[in-house]
Structure 1
């Protein structure tokens, strides 16, 4: 069911929403995206190229964050723009990891019926996405 947006206000908070990521998640994402880069699945390879461990695909992290916004909006079709910069990889040790997504409504344009949401995604307490912004249609 779609969310009623007649009460969205500047300062409204989203989350925190915690999303798990495991090595199984990475294999499934690699298979779906056709991104079989071994840094996402092979611990020995990842460490041999200077990474601390296997890392999540950046696009998985971006997509998982986008899911939080679309869930908040009640319909993926309401997210009309979404952008981010990748600032740090999500390290996924053998026992898995998690990302935490929060957001805040920074503007509401009543005439255009759109809200802008700034998102923050962290892993292990560190910000992994920068300049993460979604624009959501209000009706």
Structure 2
């Protein structure tokens, strides 16, 4: 289970990376059911960025893969059904990365507001690495 402390550390790492590169972003972390645990929007980030960062986090946590790969994934029924049933947004845009701990998806991070979607994804990946999570499940 992903804790609030872990979610806040992931967000802090993403915000540090964004600051170093001059980005103004929103960063969201959710659990495997798509419910937000923590979210921050930097000063100067566009007002729409929280919507996209949450959608990217929900998608990557629910599918267990980066948000842009969602269209090729099979639905993990319960998390995605809960997200859709509760009106949580999903996204096929880059910038959402699953948070994997001990080979299991424990949540997702979404970043929005960098100059490009690739840079959103870089920011998310760097945060995941900085805190010690993995972005890909262990091969069995």
> TM-score scaled by structure 2?
0.26
Structure with the largest fraction of helix? 2
TM-score, normalisation: structure 1: 0.26
Q: Which protein is bigger by CA-based radius of gyration?
A: 1
